[in-house]
Every structure is written in structure tokens, then in C-alpha cells.
Amino acid sequence: MKTALLFLFLFKIVPVAAQYCCTEVGKVLYYTTVDKKEEKTLRDSALVRDVIRENERIVVDLRWYGDSYNSTQIMEGENKEVFIYRKKTGITDFIMLDAEVENTVVRLEYLSKYPEQDRVKAEKEYKEYSKYMYSEGRISIPIKGNAVMDEELPPCKYAQKIGFMSMSASLKGKYKGKEKVRTPAGDFDCIKIYTDSQVKFMLFSEKEYSMSWYAQGIGLVKKEIYTKRGKLLKSMTLDIIRKPGHN
């Protein structure tokens, strides 16, 4: 009896949080996107490829496949998404672009072309090379269950330079409360997040206004993309959740 009372007491005073992403390796989430502008329907799937469980966090590697992704994008890793659940804060970071990770990958690939005995020379040459090819900043969305209505997301920026070419991205937004979403895969209690993002590449610029719904233990359940005036352009909905080993 005392044990049960102690458990209830701790349950009340310790914040209970769950990750807003799927952490089961091999699970596949299937989505349907209706593109009103192009007048077509796209079908994609997201595979939980890897999950790394550490003391303070859980890192999820999600890979997308389907109509929205060609073979080149898949080869170059453009279909990859990373979610990091931080146990201490209960926040799930959805990381879209991360310069630190990208710079590390580029550095390791560059150094791998040299034999071990030429490591000092390779590091020196990479330092020079990195002046012309580098990334900085990060684009991410912190998904949290205790956000209040219209609380602003931390604004974030990212930039990439490859020779004379440059690309930059920025994101800002707001938490828009909680909402139950009904989908073919089931009904989900979701956190609703509005984002206003912009990408610039050389002389070209593109903006996106979107609303996304995230559920605990799942991640993205629904996403809508609009024009600046609020006209719906695309709607993406979760259709099926398939566990490992189930066809």
C-alpha cells in the first residue's frame, strides 16, 4: 500500500513526457499527399532506420521513400530526418538542417582519401578546402507538450557555401495548441505547430507557410502547406502504421 502511494506521489510531482517521434526500429509510416496546385496525389513512406538510446537522449534516424523522392535525393541523404528526444526537458527536436553534422561528414570524407601517414597534410589541405565549402547554423523545431498557445518557436538560421554558390534558410513560427486529428491510421492527440520558412539559393527565393500536427510515439500525423493568404496548396495525412515484420 505504501509503495503504491509513493508511486502516485512521484507520478504527480515528476513531469511525465513522451517523445514526439517513433522510436521503434523498422516501423514504417505511410502517408498520402494531395497536391492541389499540381493536381496530383503522392504516396510516401517513412522508415525508422535507426534508434540510438543514450543516458540523456534518444536519437532517431528517419528515412523517406516514395513519389516525393528520386534516386539522387536518396543517394545524397536528402530523404533523411533526425529527431532527438531530450529526456531532461521532455523536448523532441526535429532537426532539418545541421551544419555541425554536415561539416563533420564532409571532413571525414575528405580525409578518407588520404593514407594514414599523410594525416597532417590532409588536415592542412582540408582547412584550406573548408574556406570554400562549409555550412553554419541549424534549422530545427522543438516539439514540446507544455507549449502555450501562440508561444513563439526559437527562430533559427542556416547557411551553406560551395565555391561561388551559396544557400541560406530560415525558420520561425508558433505553437498553436493541441488538437485531436482523425486519420485513416487512427485518431491522435496532437501538438499543432505553425511555421514560416524561407530558402534562398543564389538569386532565387522561396517561402513556405505550413501547419504540422505531431503525436506522441508517432511524430508527424498531418501537414498542410498554404499560400501567404492562407489558400491550401498541399495536404499530407498519415494513412497506415506498419510494425516490423508485418506486411
Q: What is the pLDDT of residue 103?
A: 85
Identify the residue with better confidence: 183 or 11: 183
Identify the residue with better confidence: 138 or 104: 138
State the Cα–Cα distance between residues 89 and 132, nearest whole angstrom: 37
Identify the residue with better confidence: 42 or 37: 42
Only one residue has cell 535525393, namely 73
Quick: pLDDT tens for 52-91: 999 999 999 999 999 999 888 888 788 899 999 999 999 9
pLDDT tops 60 at residue 110: yes
Is residue 85 exposed (0-12), middle (13-18) or buried (19+ Cβ within 10 Å)? Answer: buried
**Which triple of cell numbers denotes residue 160?**
551553406
Residues 6+ apart with CB under 8 A from 52: 58, 59, 61
* β-sheet bridge partners, residue 242: 28
Are 104 and 141 a contacting pair, CB within 8 Å? no
pLDDT more than 90, % of the chain: 67
DSSP class of residue 244 equals T
Q: What is the pLDDT of residue 134?
A: 85
Work out the number of other CB atoms within 10 angstroms of the CB of residue 7. 10
Q: What is the mean pLDDT of residues 179-186?
A: 97
Residue 11's pLDDT band, with cuts at 50, 70 and 90, is very low
Question: In terms of residues, how long is the chain?
Answer: 247
Q: What is the pLDDT of residue 86?
A: 95
Residue 209's pLDDT band, with cuts at 50, 70 and 90, is very high
Q: What is the mean pLDDT of residues 209-216?
A: 98
**Which triple of cell numbers denotes residue 150?**
501562440
Domains and CATH numbers, the chain: 27-242 (2.40.360)
pLDDT more than 70, % of the chain: 92
How far, in Å, are 69, 142, 143, 155, 222 from residue 151 at the CA level?
Answer: 33, 12, 12, 12, 20
Identify the residue with better confidence: 14 or 189: 189
Q: What is the pLDDT of residue 10?
A: 35
Alpha-carbon Rg of the chain, whole angstroms?
21
* β-sheet bridge partners, residue 158: 137, 169
Is residue 135 exposed (0-12), middle (13-18) or buried (19+ Cβ within 10 Å)? Answer: buried
Q: What is the pLDDT of residue 61?
A: 94
Q: What is the pLDDT of residue 43?
A: 96
55: region left, alpha or beta (phi > 0 left; psi from -120 to 50 alpha): alpha
Q: What is the mean pLDDT of residues 104-114?
A: 86
Work out the number of other CB atoms within 10 angstroms of the CB of residue 219. 24
pLDDT tops 60 at residue 112: yes
Q: What is the mean pLDDT of residues 203-219?
A: 95
Mean pLDDT of the chain: 89
Q: What is the mean pLDDT of residues 135-163?
A: 94
Residue 133's pLDDT band, with cuts at 50, 70 and 90, is confident
